[in-house]
Amino acid sequence: MSEPRPIPDEADPLYADHLAGLRAGSLRAQICSSCQHVQWPPRELCLRCGSSELHGHRVENAGTVYTFSVCHRAFHPYFADRIPYGIVVVEVGDGATDGPLRFVGTYASDLSSLRCGVPVVASTEWTDDHPFLQWTAAS
């Protein structure tokens, strides 16, 4: 039996809301209730005002590929049968932020279509009963 896919730390409270969102099919970042700054990745303090009053915040589930990586070598046994595989950094627009929001995820479409600027849509990929963020080229 091959190695299972690496999973997030489900005991980490910082990521609980985001994972719950993935399970429900929505993309969630973090918002500061003091200054309304939206940030991702989640952090223990608001990077704009320093407040610890941070909560989950749903964002658009569509964006564009800002950059990407195509891996031809497996650095973990789970991926040994899946090379080459694509990872994307997707920029999601959201009016509440004062900077770009970027999400890392798996690229689910054909690698020949993968380049900067491609519009993509988020969805949840289920592996071993765990949810993972994946992005598919919008048609």
Partner 1 sequence: MTTATAVIAGVGETAYTRGTSQTVRQLGIEAVRKACDDAEIDAESIDGVIMVTDALGNADYATYLRLRDLKFHATLGIGGASCASAVGLAAAAVRAGHASRVVVVHVSYQVSGGRRLGSAAANLVQRPLHPTREIRVNLEFPHGMIVPMQWYSLHANRWLYETGADPAGMADVALATRAHAQLNARAFFRDKPLLREQYDASPLIVAPFRLFDICLDSDGAAAVLIAADGDTTSRQRNVRVLGAAEGHPDTPDDLASRPDVTNMGIAKAGPRALAQADVTLADIDVAEIYDCFTFVVLRQLEELGFCARGESPEFVKDGAISIGGRLPVNTHGGLLSQAHVGGLNHVVEAVHQLRGEGGDAQVAGASVALVTGYGDLGDGSVLVLGR
The CB-of-107 to partner 1 minimum distance in angstroms stands at 9
Interface residue with partner 1 among 25, 50, 93, 99 (CB under 8 A) is: 99
Please state, in angstroms and rounded to a whole number, the distance separating the CA atoms of residues 93 and 89.
13
Q: Is 78 helix (H, G, I), strand (E, B) or coil?
A: helix
Stretch that binds partner 1, among 30-38, 55-63, 79-87 (CB under 8 A): 79-87
DSSP 36-76: --EESS--SS-TTT----EEEEEE-SEEEEEEEEEE-S-SS
The contact set with partner 1 (CB under 8 A) reads: 3, 5-9, 12, 14-15, 40-41, 66-80, 82, 84-85, 87, 89, 99-100, 102-106, 115-117, 132-133
